[in-house]
Structure 1
């Protein structure tokens, strides 16, 4: 049987899919999000992490069930279209592409901030160009590079945990936990910030046409990647809290670097900074991969320019979509502020998963199987509106623009 020229190559097994998910989640978030989350939740930071993990698990379970039913590129764009109707699929795809494009810019700027702070924007653009070239050569090369990045980042994080837990400063940090308290609103805001770092398992679902036996591979890979990430994040958060305490962690611009310095091992600071840069590169690599696949699916349905649906005849990747995404991200990385990009991206990601949970709720199954999507949907809505109001207003406005564009297209086609 001959393969269609528009088909992608199924080359990824469970291990590769898990690694891509880990590369998306264990990235810049664990280096950058702990400080803002601690400012919001104080000593209740672990509770915020637990809330984020519960919502992420619900989203992962819904995504895995849907991916097994619809093993196609596009993720929730496809699920919403098939289960809820074309508009909801389009809205999910719009939220993902726009939100994650902003997230790509944020990750690129994080690389620049750690590698060369004085030329952060220039380094960010160079990183986008380099990783777009890697993705262009084929998804298997991306998986190989992601495996290397994940190994380096896990080694750095393990060093941070060992140094912090073995330090005399850890006792003072633990004492600080009993002198502060976090309000419920702060816990939810912290959960929203930390959820941003968990959200990478969507990248596994968006690769539905490039994994072997997707009906079995994707449902196995998503919870595995999420479970490993939760364990890593919990170990890092507790160890850094034990050294800096909630107040010190909340004030830290580079929490993990400050923690190893406070633990009495300043020589490890450059290693941590290098690890942060590598982690950001891993996140950026997987983000460009996922956004381009969703753009491919939307282009196939003519919600984006049809030229983006082209698949390279040799490398079997959506090369025009990858180049277009890379170009937009490079422009953003040269011009935007990283904090604004992250805030907007968080709102878009939560809107995307809200559609995923609503789609999973429509699947046939036992009544208990509908509880998880309901919890996930309510969790996404709660965390989205717990974000700073600027992020909520801008995010809702961009979603409204996308909805209006959909309406205009339908009206013109009528």
Structure 2
């Protein structure tokens, strides 16, 4: 069944990720919003606290690009952000605040490979970044709304574990901040977390074979947050706003193997750690002030080769370009490995991404550049793989008449 197209969509049937609706602040959402489109058609119509109905656009995302939809919140409250692919497309959704921090992330919680994030947002501007899970071209709807408004997706489907979406503290194992616990889902899947003073917290559930799902409930049993597939198939919930004192319930469900141990950790929210994790995944570019390791390659004059032993955490390089042209960056696995490449300009805007090229597991970026500094990250697609990768950097200049 084809979903109805909103009024905002009627004025622009396809919102291409590379074409901004209006000039944006280059640093909005850590650079992710520079080419974003207002979901309501313009900024004034994109405040989901006051709109009569949901706001929505349909986006065509090509290759390894992403669509970024912009919206604002004028009143603190609970909101729903969703993405649903057409023709079986598998969407991945990240919601960033104006500083670029991810406040919600989801892959499949909308059901049928759609994404759905229901979260508490404070007043401000937000970016909803939508991409295809496997990098293939994708046409999808992106919708932002209040919780009381019509949803785009069917919602969270019952996983293979058969969880009922509730949290019974009578069977919960207590969590201690900073102390991981590991249990198979079949023997323990409910945990309690006591907070004595207001505190911002982070929760993780890790084991990709289990493909865990995390859900957090407040002391009254009300749903607070949910996540599936934050880092690979692992899950994470970041409650950046301090939670009131009380006993919280943490439910773990799964899509995978019920017999393997799932490591559950609760710890105090650390904004600096969140940022470092973004750099390690290549989801944001690090600063060039020496606070995060970036190897400077100097001027990219013609051709440069670099070998690196890399795992699931990105290794970063920077290089200088003094005149416009074309830059080619290639990552070639030397034996085992599946390298991923991502490239940013010096303002933190992603200008290139590639995983598999020309039927192989190697990666290739071809990016038109202007004079400036560029950063390139290379990592293994599989967090459990470590292997040598040969990097090739080449610069081409336009032909002169």
Structure having the larger proportion of residues in strand: 2
Q: Which of the pair has more CA radius of gyration? A: 2
Taking structure 2 as the reference length, the TM-score comes to 0.24
Structure having the larger proportion of residues in helix: 1
Higher relative contact order (CA 8 A, sep 6+): 1
Taking structure 1 as the reference length, the TM-score comes to 0.23
